[in-house]
Chains A and B, each alone.
Chain A
Amino acid sequence: SAVISQKPSRDICQRGTSLTIQCQVDSQVTMMFWYRQQPGQSLTLIATANQGSEATYESGFVIDKFPISRPNLTFSTLTVSNMSPEDSSIYLCSVVRGRRNNEQFFGPGTRLTVL
């Protein structure tokens, strides 16, 4: 399995500020994704982090609010910009290691609370 770490594991932030979440994988992966799990709700895909190019966002998510970087095959960041209490969620990094076996793994998540 792939070992995925996320930093920070949790944070409490003030409205209007920004937080950058890091995702580090212990081996090269084919694809990286960012998901959000709002309180009491299911996981929703935010975007696909593309190496060396702009991320691909799902409907309802925009780059200005959730800028994403992926400088190499093992690392990605997600920034939650100009935060409001509605952004309070768990943010999860997910990776797919191979194109054949559909091996997909999730990080432990970053629990964000916005006051």
Chain B
Amino acid sequence: AQSVTQLDSQVPVFEEAPVELRCNYSSSVSVYLFWYVQYPNQGLQLLLKYLSGSTLVKGINGFEAEFNKSQTSFHLRKPSVHISDTAEYFCAVSRPNAGGTSYGKLTFGQGTILTVHP
């Protein structure tokens, strides 16, 4: 079984500051890694995902994340945040099946609420 720990439940930052949202995972097998964002009163939206290949993954809205296998981490970063980035962010993992595809069975972290202040 796998588990996900998001180390910060809330992260307040000022507009145009950089931000890092931390995510660590635990798994005995290889995993796929995801970051989702949930804006107020909206559904989950995929920011980015790591399946294989380059450990630096770029996503939408200027976000990126780096997969670090030795530290079992997948931290999310953005060099300069905007007010509109205020939302809850979820890190998630899934276990590839034998065919190498993910079948949607995600294990989520507890979520990090990012609040961007003017």
B99 touching A99, Cβ below 8 Å: yes
Q: Whose C-beta in chain B lies nearest to the C-beta of A102?
A: B102
User: Does B104 interact with chain A (Cβ within 8 Å)?
Assistant: yes
Q: Which residue of B43, B99, B110 contacts A92 across the interface (Cβ within 8 Å)?
A: B43
Q: Which residue of B32, B51, B105 contacts A33 across the interface (Cβ within 8 Å)?
A: B105
- Taking CB atoms and an 8 Å cut-off, the chain A residues in 16-56 that contact chain B are 31, 33, 35, 41-45, 48
B106 touching A43, Cβ below 8 Å: yes
Cβ of B51: which chain A residues have Cβ within 8 Å of it?
Answer: 102
Q: Which residue of A43, A100, A104 contacts B46 across the interface (Cβ within 8 Å)?
A: A104
- Tally of contact residues, B, Cβ under 8 A: 23
In the assembled complex, the Cα of A44 lies from the Cα of B4 at a distance in Å of 12
Chain A residues at the B interface, C-beta cutoff of 8 Å: 4, 31, 33, 35, 41-45, 48, 92, 94-96, 99-100, 102, 104-109
Task: Pull 5 A–B residue pairs with CB atoms less than 8 Å apart, ordered by A.
Answer: A42-B90, A42-B111, A94-B106, A104-B106, A109-B43
In the assembled complex, the Cα of A48 lies from the Cα of B106 at a distance in Å of 11
B43 touching A108, Cβ below 8 Å: yes
Q: Which residue of B44, B92, B105, B107 contacts A48 across the interface (Cβ within 8 Å)?
A: B105
User: Does B67 interact with chain A (Cβ within 8 Å)?
Assistant: no
